[in-house]
Structure 1
Amino acid sequence: MDIISIEEMNHIYWLGRYSERVYTTIREYFKGRDIMIEQPAFYITYCKNFTIPNCYKSSSDFLHQYAFDENNPDSIISNLNYAYDNAILLRQTLGTETLSYMELAVNQLKNSKNSPAALLELQKVLDHILAFWACIDDEIDSEQIRSVIKIGRHLERINLYLRLRKSKDFMMKPFHMLVARLRKGYVEYDKNELDRLGMNITGNTIDYLDGVKTSESIIKEKYRCII
C-alpha cells in the first residue's frame, strides 16, 4: 500500500466526490430543463431535492445562475471549481495529461456562460469529465489512489440519488461498487453504517432521509475536511 498523508487522502477523496457531483448534477440539470418547459416552477422542487437554497427569481434565472454563477456555492461551476482546486493540489499525483481534462472541463463551462448553444457546451463538460476519469485509470499506477477517487464517486452518486428519490435499481450498482472498493481497506469506514445503508436501499421501502444521513456517516471523520 502506498504511503499517502491524510491531507492528500482528503484531496483524493473529495476530487472523486466533486467530479461526480458535477457529472450527475449536469445530467439532472438536462432533465430538469426539459421538465421546466411545461412546468416552470419545477426548479423549486429541484432545489428541494438537492437540499440547496432556492435563491432564484424564476426558472430562467435558475437555469442560468445555477449553472454559471461562481458566487453561488451550490452552482455547477462552483462544484467544478472545487473539483479543480483539489486536482491542482494533486498535480504531481495525477500528472499533466490527466489534469488537463479537468482544466478543459472548467474552461468549457466558463466559456459556455453566454453561448447560444449552452446545452451542447455542457455536454462537452461531461465528455471532459469522462475523459478525466478514463485518464485516471490509464495513467495512475497506484490502485489505492484510483480506489479512493472511486470511493468518493460511488458514495456521492448514491447520496445524490437518495436526495433525488430514485428507485433502488439506480443505486444498487454504485452501492456494490462502493462496497468492493471499501473492502480493499484504503480508507477507514464504518461497517455498521455501510450495512445500514445497504439494508435501506435494498428494502421494500427506502427511507431516503435516513439514507442521506447514513451515506454521510460511512467514511471516517478525518476524511471529511473539504477544500
Structure 2
Amino acid sequence: MILQIETATTVCSVALANQGRVIAIKEANQRNIHAEAITVFIDEILNKAGIKYSELDAVAVSSGPGSYTGLRIGVSTAKGLCYALDKPLIAVETLEAMAGGLIVSGVDSDVLLCPMIDARRMEVYTALFDAAGNRLQPTTAEIIDANSFAAQLEQSKILFFGDGAPKCRETLSGNPNALFIDDFANSAAHLTSATYQKFKAAQFEDVAYFEPYYLKDFLVTAKKA
C-alpha cells in the first residue's frame, strides 16, 4: 500500500495505491490550500480505505519542478511520514508523472507528449516524451516563442498539456501539428505507474538528504510600495 502526494501545482492531491491501482483519492484544484489541506486529505483517504498509517509500505511524492511552496509542503509532508513510520520514500519527477497520467488515459502512438508547468511570464517547465513514456528531451525551463519546438513540430504531432500549456496556444496553435489538451490537471493518481515500478525495484530516496527538484532558484521579490 503506497501513499502518493502531488503538490507541485495549484492542485493538492493525495492518493492511495495498492499494487499499481488507485483505491482512494482526494484532491482539490485551489491555490494556496496545500499547507492546510494536505494532512486532512491524507487522513480522509486512509480512513476511507480502512488503512492505518503503520500499514503503508511506502510514501511517494511528486518531486518537481513546479511551485516552490507547493513542492516544499509536499516533500516535507512525505519525509515527515517516512521518518515517523520508518517507511521508504519514492520520488517521481512531476513532468514524468504528468506524461504517465496522460498515457494511461489513452493517446495515439504517433504523437509526442509535452507536459508543461507554469513558471513566470512566458516561461514553462517542460520536457518531451514519446507515447510510450520514453523521455526524448530533458526537463528544462523554456521561454516560449514562435520558434519553440519548431524542429519537432515539422516531423510530429505534439500534445501540449498542463497548466503551462495555455501560454503556448496563441504562439504555437497556428501549426497544425500543435495539439492542446485544456482539461488536464495534475493528480497524485498520475504517480501510480512509476511509483509501483520503483517500489518493486527498491528505488528509494535517502530521506535525510532528499530535496525537491526546483530546477530554478527561488527568487524573492520586494513588495511594491
TM-score range relative to shorter protein: under 0.3
Structure with the larger helix share? 1
Higher relative contact order, structure no. (Cα contacts within 8 Å, ≥ 6 residues apart)? 1
- Give the structure-2-normalised TM-score: 0.26
Q: When you count strand as a share of all residues, which structure comes out higher?
A: 2
